Structure 1
Amino acid sequence: MAEHHVVVIGAGFGGLETVRGLAGAPVRITIIDQRNHHLFQPLLYQVATAILATSEIAWPVRYLFRDRPEVKTLLATVKGVDKEKREVLLSDGQSVPYDTLVLATGARHAYFGHDEWERYAPGLKTLEDATTIRRRMLTAFELAERETDEARRQALMTFVIIGGGPTGVELAGAIAELAHVTLAKDFRSIDPQLTRVVLIEAGPRILPGFTEDLSAYAGKALERLGVEVRTGAPVTECAAGHVVFGDETLATGTILWAAGVQASPAAQWLEAPADRAGRVKVEPDLTVPGHPEIFVIGDTASVSAPDGKPVPGIAPAAKQQGGHAAATIKARLAGGAAPGPFLYKHSGSLATIGKRAAVIDFGWIKLRGWLAWWIWGIAHIFFLIGTRHRIAVALSWLWIYMTGHRSARLITQGKPREETGSPAE
């Protein structure tokens, strides 16, 4: 009898945790991803803001499972799923059969019906996104150094972040420190300390997932870094060289999007019911209604926590779901009782504001300031893969903390005029 074949689409936190959880089970596993690496997304903004190098937060998938001969990795793009034939359809016309399928395909940027804004306001989900943002930011300073028109120079030195969630807050703080500290003495015609960083949030406050007191602290901490926080003003237009929010038009050379996400097209592949964000409405055990052989986890799944609220799209939730899917598969193969419904255990919310402040909400205790920042850093280092990466990131952070110098501020992959939406065009 052929071994049970488990196909996992997506090598993110949920997908990898599923594969790890299946260690020792009588299965063969195929991982399919359109990139060859696993990405530690919580630190992606640090690549975008020249704090870390790409190699410090990403690992080749093949390397991670080099000692697991039952695991096969395919670099491919999925275009659909044939539920009747139990096959994953690839973009090159090939297909991969499965006995059990785990969809952990993550999410992408959502522009609330204005997909044309993506050209001017890139989001942050991949290494390519991060290096594009880093290039745009650093190029803006280089163009400002040569610009003789004062209005255009000010626009180039104005950075707008749309969305006041953790990603937006972390980006705003990191950009402000990059401009006001790291680059302070690097230019001769411009003063980087005059850089404007504007964080725009449509809602009444930033970090809406945190308590009001932590949200207020984060706002004040950003203002101390020189960030202008604008709340209650939804963006109505993003274009080359400016953004419109509320009744204000702001000239800017760089717009970054951190306001919303849309699930991958997995619901379309499966012809399954989905919520407004495109996430598959799964059964309590994370399977697709009518198809117990298909699991959907992570940002691709719509599932409720014990308190009735949606499970957040964060790494710990995806890992817990991956572990639950693996446990269910193993129980089925062993002929035992399934673990039952998935129960999410919230371990806390964390967000950093620059290099000396953070907010943490564990529910039973709330922390802010430098102590929260140290806990935030230790937690992220702990979840990195491999001793070398932990040491490298820790040393990079220590060096920046002591000197303010960031060694990863390289302009790569393209020329300034290739950037769409650039005021240089």
Structure 2
Amino acid sequence: MYLNFHTTPRKNTIPPPALGGNVTPNQICILGGGFAGLYTALYLNRLSWSKCKKPQITIIDKENRFLFTPFLYELVTREFQSWEIAPSFEKLLADTGIQFHQGTIQGIDLEKRQVQLHRGEIFSYDYLVLAVGRETLSDLVSGAATYAYPFRTLADADLLRERLRVLEATDLPKIQVAIAGGGPGGVELAGKLADRLQERGQIYLFARDKQILKNFSAFSQKVARQSLEARGVQVKFETSIDSVSSNQINLVHQGQVRTISVDLAIGTLGTQSKEWLRPLDCQHNSQNQLLTLPTLQLVNYPEVFALGDLADIRDAQGKQVPSTAQAAFQQANCAARNLGAALTGRPLLAFRYSHLGEMLTLGINDAIVSSFGINLRGSIACAIRRWVYILLRMPTCRHRLQVVKHRLKRLILDWLVSHRQQSTAKSYWRKSKY
């Protein structure tokens, strides 16, 4: 069920700034605690508010944890622990003054400037940031909703790990795994699963296009394909999954249909807009993404900002900005600055997307880094990717410090174990020699 609020175009008016004293602070409501939403709140909180009273910032999300999605794949191979990539909002926002409310959104009244949750709570706002992302399109393939495992959330990763644990405990000679999607999600997951299962697994990656990693650099495409082949992953191009059942999938390749047996099917493609977003009386594109002004505001609703993959955001050349974490970071920074400008009566700036490069994991201790003409692969790229994300992209200094301390402890312990094993081997060799 969702609310359907119909409005008519109105004059572009924004709330006046709260100028201090006993004036009630402006209420900024941020829907969605992902990259775009959380970082908008954090960037806003760091701004100087000398000219007006600091606004009250509230994040609303159905989950109680933030998810650092680039490291979701590392959970599959046990390289990271859940607390590292999914800290609670309560811990992240402690001592920031930012409020968090866990709840499921039912609808928005753009005219009354109200957000309604399923439990009946109503939140009034002066400014609204829409950053809820999109949701998995489970009915894209017949049977996928029942038999295929999605891979977008922490709960998805936990379910996948449990399924892998069950399969690994069986006497199956080969665990057959099918992954739908030749984008970064499918490629990264295929590499991780191949490294986890080793000789016990056979990974199939099905891509609808003639290549994997469409829109990525030629270097990333080439290295990723070589890496998958080296790991024994069978990549099937121009192939789509027509249906999924409990132990098999039907494939379509150049009009021909065939069936293969699988023990695990994973879908990494297909998203749709949130149901309650579709009836909003504002402009949408054919994919139900919200159309925005260059300042990230909705047309006719300048107090509403739309970020992330729920919005159709264009760069300076008119090309749609990709739905990536780096784009979300940049949009959050722009939205925070523009909210600050609106609250202090300054002009707003147009969003300018800068492509900073590509970083992909290819497996355990293996990755690609391609940025500003520098192309790296292997363990060096893996270390760079990992530490860039930890030191520069993870939220809050406190959480970064906790992760850094844990990572350094692991490095030291791994070195000590390796050194001890080498010493034991040398000692055994000397004794056997005599």
TM category, shorter = 0.7 to 0.9
SS at match of 1:79: strand
Q: How many residue pairs end up in the alignment? A: 381
Q: Which of residues 204, 207, 210 in structure 2 aligns to 1:198?
A: 204
Instruction: Give the 3 Å change call, closer, same or farther, for CA 243–368 of structure 1 in structure 2.
Output: same
Partner of 2:25: 3
Deviations along 1:255-280, one digit per CA (max 9) or x if unpaired, are 11112333334632523332344321
CA-CA distance at 1:396 after TM superposition: 5.4
Q: TM-score by structure 1 length?
A: 0.83
What is aligned with 2:336?
Answer: 326
Amino acid at match of 2:371: F
2:278 partner SS: helix
For the residues of structure 2 that align with 1:164 and 1:112, how far apart are their CA atoms? 19
Cα deviation 1:201-251 (Å, max 9, x = unaligned): 111111112223431221111111121111111111122111122233111
**Which residue of 212, 218, 221 corresponds with 1:212?**
218
Contact 1:359 1:368 in 2 (8 A): yes
More displaced 10-residue stretch of structure 1: 374-383 or 312-321: 374-383
> What's the offset of the Cα at 1:397?
7.7
User: What is the aligned partner in structure 2 of residue 48 from structure 1?
Assistant: 76
Bigger Rg, structure 1 or 2? 2
Look up the SS of the partner of 1:59 in the other structure.
coil
**8 Å CA contact retained: 1:162, 1:256:** yes
Question: Residue 377 of structure 1 aligns with which residue?
Answer: 386
- In 1, distance between residues paired with 2:417 and 2:186? 25
Alpha-carbon distance in structure 2 between the residues aligned to 1:212 and 1:200: 19
Identity of aligned residues (%): 29
Counterpart in the other structure of 1:172: 190
Contact 1:15/1:322, CA 8 A, preserved across alignment: yes
Name the counterpart of 2:149: 122
Q: Which has the higher contact order (CA 8 A, sep 6+)?
A: 1
> 1:285, CA displacement in angstroms?
0.9
Counterpart of 1:264 (choices 274, 286, 292) is 274
TM-superposed deviation, 1:98: 0.5
Aligned in 2, Cα 1:168/1:280: closer, same or farther, shift over 3 Å?
A: same
CA contact (8 A) 2:39 2:332 kept: yes
Aligned pair partner of 1:16 in 30, 38, 43: 38
Q: Which residue of 1 aligns with 2:117?
A: 90
Could you tell me how far apart the structure 1 residues matched to 2:367 and 2:272 are? 27
- Cα distance in structure 2, aligned partners of 1:176 and 1:355: 9
The equivalent residue for 1:341 is 350
Q: Residue by residue, what CA displacement relative to the aligned partner does 1:161-209 show, whole Å, maximum 9, x if unpaired?
A: 11111111111111111111xxxxxxxxxxxx14211111111111112
**Larger deviation, residues 225-234 vs 75-84:** 225-234
Task: Provide the C-alpha distance between the structure 1 equivalents of 2:177 and 2:160, rounded to a whole number of angstroms.
Answer: 11
Aligned with 2:242 (options 223, 233, 236): 236
Amino acid at match of 1:388: Q
Question: Could you tell me how far apart the structure 1 residues matched to 2:290 and 2:36 are?
Answer: 15
More deviation in 132-141 or 357-366?
A: 357-366
State which of 222, 231, 255 in structure 2 corresponds to 1:225. 231
Q: Say which of 107, 119, 132 aligns to 2:159.
A: 132
Q: Deviations over 1:373-411 (max 9, x none)?
A: 23222222222342112333465588789999xxxxxxx
Provide structure 1 residue ranges, at least 5 long, that are not aligned to the other structure: 146-152, 181-192, 405-425
> Matches of 2:417 and 2:157 in 1, distance apart?
23
TM-score by length of 2: 0.82
- In structure 2, the CA distance between the partners of 1:99 and 1:314, relative to structure 1 (3 Å rule), is same
The question of whether the paired residues in 2 share the 8 Å contact of 1:50 and 1:134 is answered with no
Q: Distance in 2 between matches of 1:110 and 1:160?
A: 18
Q: Does 1:392 align with 2:410?
A: no
Q: What does the per-residue CA deviation read over 1:91-115, in whole Å, with 9 as the maximum and x for residues that have no partner?
A: 0112100010001102222357337
Q: Give the superposed CA RMSD.
A: 2.4
Give secondary structure in 1 for the equivalent of 2:149. Answer: coil
Cα separation, partners in 2 of 1:28 and 1:177, compared to 1, 3 Å: same
2:289 corresponding residue in structure 1: 279
CA distance in 2, matches of 1:81, 1:347: 35
- CA drift of 1:252 comes to 0.7
Measure, in 2, the Cα distance between the counterparts of 1:363 and 1:270.
40
State the one-letter code of the partner of 2:273.
A
Separation of aligned partners in 2, 1:215 and 1:308: 25
Please tell me the residue identity of whatever aligns with 1:21. Answer: Y
107-116 or 346-355, which moves further after superposition? 107-116
2:107–2:277 contact (8 Å) kept in structure 1: no
